[in-house]
């Protein structure tokens, strides 16, 4: 009974479910209303703040750009603006300098400089007074403009009597077309003589080709035969150039220390032995015989020049490597058949050192026999005129860059050069040690 009474009393106190839910919903709705009210107030305040600061920002920007109210800008803002301006200006300056340096580098590698020099030679004949020689080297198969248009523009503006190409005009790539463009495009009728450099193919082929005609067709590299077809003369032995009653001998520098008589005797003996072996069908003799015959021919030309060269004749030698040591060449005639000492040696190879540092010069030249193996060389060795005993040596700066230079393959502070040498009997300032 008591339990039933308790249950009845509890049932009276407990309210219906829908009434309880309505109260909970009212509380929940009240909480949501408060949240929405707070959110609305926050948005209104935030919007007002954004509007206020936006107005200040745009007003300040307008004042800054118009120059008004500068005194209202804080010192901190002024410092930041000043710093930003300095950074922008510094960046502009650095970028401009870098762009200018790049433009100068490109110009330096493509703009050709004509370098004229007067060379004094004691006892020079009056017929060769003012004789002009164009000296080029180290083209390395490079084109200056379409079919050498830029190079030919400078070259064809010059007057000269002789052109000498001191090697590496083709280079390791073996592309002779740029050289042919040069030979075809020159307008002067002056003769062109050339030698091979260390980077050029050959000059001799590995095996004699099947050919006809002169020995050169059997043994010389294709690019040499091509240059001959385009009008140049390959300098494999001394040649004579006459002007009125005076004589100029042009020799490959490699023959200056050569004793012609013993050399010819050895080569003749070798030729006879190989001829006999060839008749007997020895294959090695068939391969070697054309080369030996060509060497005999060169030695005969050398001895002929030795016998015909006179003391008053002008003697110019052409080298690729600039000589560093004194020659053993005779000062007159000798039973060994050695050429008379050259009056002038023309050379290339160093390409002006490739890179040149202002106020110092070239960092390196490819000359292992030089002090420090070519690093930080005596600048008189790099290019220009110098004396080697009684011989004048002139090294041209060349037209490109050799792979023998241990630096990136472009010229820096070192324009490609066409060298023009004018011969004179008068004493020049350089010979007297005056000027540079």
Measured CA to CA in angstroms, residue 74 lies from 39, 60, 427 at distances of 35, 12, 75
How many domains, the chain? 2
Domain ends where: 27, 46, 73? 73
The answer to whether residues 177 and 280 belong to one domain is yes
The answer to whether residues 320 and 272 belong to one domain is yes
Domain assignment present for 82: no
The two beta strands, 233-234 and 239-243, are unpaired
Domain assignment present for 1: no
Measured CA to CA in angstroms, residue 129 lies from 122, 156, 422 at distances of 11, 22, 8
Domain assignment present for 85: no
The answer to whether residues 69 and 214 belong to one domain is no
Domain ends where: 73, 88, 119? 73
- Which residue segment(s) compose the domain that 348 sits in? 111-432
Any idea which residue has 């003589």 for tokens?
193
Domain assignment present for 93: no
The full 3-state SS of 178-225, as one line of letters, equals HHHHHHHHCCCCCCEEECCCCCCCCCECCCCCCCCCCCHHHHECHHHH
Any idea which residue has 């690729």 for tokens?
320
The answer to whether residues 180 and 241 belong to one domain is yes
Contacts of 429 (CB under 8 A, 6+ apart): 435
Instruction: Tokens for 8, please give them.
Output: 């009845």
Please give the pLDDT value at position 436: 47
The answer to whether residues 154 and 47 belong to one domain is no
Domain assignment present for 5: no
Residue pair 114/399 in contact (Cβ under 8 Å)? The answer is no
Report the alpha-carbon distance of residue 268 to residue 238 in Å, rounded.
Answer: 20
The answer to whether residues 57 and 169 belong to one domain is no
Torsions phi, psi of 212, nearest 5? -140, 165
Domain assignment present for 168: yes
Any idea which residue has 């007159």 for tokens?
332
Low-confidence ranges of the chain (pLDDT < 50): 17-19, 331-333, 434-436
The answer to whether residues 56 and 180 belong to one domain is no
- Nearest Cα residue to 164 out of 128, 137, 135: 135
Measured CA to CA in angstroms, residue 237 lies from 80, 160, 299, 310 at distances of 77, 23, 8, 17
- Nearest Cα residue to 423 out of 182, 189, 161: 161
Contacts of 16 (CB under 8 A, 6+ apart): none
The answer to whether residues 55 and 116 belong to one domain is no
Report the alpha-carbon distance of residue 360 to residue 381 in Å, rounded.
Answer: 13
What angle (nearest 5°) sits at the alpha carbon of residue 49, between those of residues 48 and 53?
120
Give Dmax over CA atoms of the chain in angstroms.
163
What angle (nearest 5°) sits at the alpha carbon of residue 138, between those of residues 199 and 355?
105
The answer to whether residues 332 and 386 belong to one domain is yes
- Provide the b/e sequence for 223-240 (b: ≥16 CB within 10 Å): bbbbbbeeebebbbbbbe
Q: How far is CA 217 from the centre of its chain?
A: 33
The answer to whether residues 61 and 132 belong to one domain is no
For residue 364, the domain's CATH number is: 3.60.21
State the helix-helix crossing angle for 283-308 and 260-279, rounded to 10 degrees: 150
Contacts of 368 (CB under 8 A, 6+ apart): 374
The answer to whether residues 278 and 140 belong to one domain is yes
Domain assignment present for 238: yes
Instruction: Tokens for 65, please give them.
Output: 């750009």
Tell me whether the omega of the peptide bond preceding residue 203 falls within 30 degrees of 0, making it cis.
Answer: yes
Three-state DSSP at 97 gives helix
The answer to whether residues 50 and 116 belong to one domain is no
Domain assignment present for 100: no
């Amino acid at each position: 009974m008591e339990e039933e009474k308790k249950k009845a009393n509890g049932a009276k106190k407990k309210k219906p479910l829908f009434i309880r839910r309505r109260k909970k919903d009212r509380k929940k709705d009240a909480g949501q209303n408060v949240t929405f009210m707070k959110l609305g107030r926050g948005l209104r305040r935030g919007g007002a703040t954004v509007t206020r600061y936006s107005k200040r920002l745009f007003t300040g920007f307008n004042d800054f750009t118009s120059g008004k109210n500068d005194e209202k800008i804080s010192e901190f803002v002024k410092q930041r603006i000043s710093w930003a301006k300095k950074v922008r200006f510094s960046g502009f300056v650095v970028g401009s300098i870098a762009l200018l340096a790049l433009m100068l580098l490109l110009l330096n590698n493509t703009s050709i400089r004509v370098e004229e020099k007067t060379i004094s030679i004691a006892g020079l004949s009056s017929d060769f007074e003012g004789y002009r020689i164009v000296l080029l080297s180290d083209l390395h198969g490079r084109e200056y403009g379409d079919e050498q248009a830029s190079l030919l523009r400078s070259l064809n503006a010059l007057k000269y009597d002789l052109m000498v190409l001191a090697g590496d005009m083709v280079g390791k790539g073996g592309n002779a077309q740029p050289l042919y463009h040069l030979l075809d495009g020159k307008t002067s009728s002056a003769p062109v003589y050339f030698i091979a450099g260390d980077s050029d193919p050959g000059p001799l082929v590995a095996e004699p080709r099947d050919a006809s005609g002169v020995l050169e067709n059997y043994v010389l590299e294709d690019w040499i035969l091509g240059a001959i077809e385009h009008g140049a003369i390959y300098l494999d032995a001394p040649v004579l150039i006459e002007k009125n009653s005076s004589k100029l001998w042009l020799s490959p520098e490699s023959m200056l220390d050569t004793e012609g008589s013993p050399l010819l005797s050895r080569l003749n003996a070798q030729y006879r032995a190989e001829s006999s072996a060839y008749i007997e069908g020895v294959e090695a003799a068939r391969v070697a015989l054309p080369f030996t015959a060509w060497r005999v021919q060169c030695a005969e030309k050398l001895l002929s020049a030795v016998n015909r060269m006179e003391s008053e004749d002008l003697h110019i030698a052409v080298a690729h490597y600039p000589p560093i040591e004194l020659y053993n060449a005779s000062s007159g005639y000798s039973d060994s058949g050695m050429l008379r000492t050259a009056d002038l040696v023309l050379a290339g190879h160093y390409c002006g050192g490739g890179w040149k540092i202002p106020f110092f010069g070239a960092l390196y030249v490819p000359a292992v026999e030089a002090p420090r193996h070519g690093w930080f060389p005596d600048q008189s060795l790099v290019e220009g005129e110098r004396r080697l005993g009684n011989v004048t040596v002139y090294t041209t700066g060349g037209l490109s860059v050799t792979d023998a230079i241990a630096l990136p393959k472009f010229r820096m502070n070192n324009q490609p050069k066409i060298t023009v040498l004018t011969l004179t009997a008068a004493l020049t300032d350089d010979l007297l040690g005056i000027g540079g």
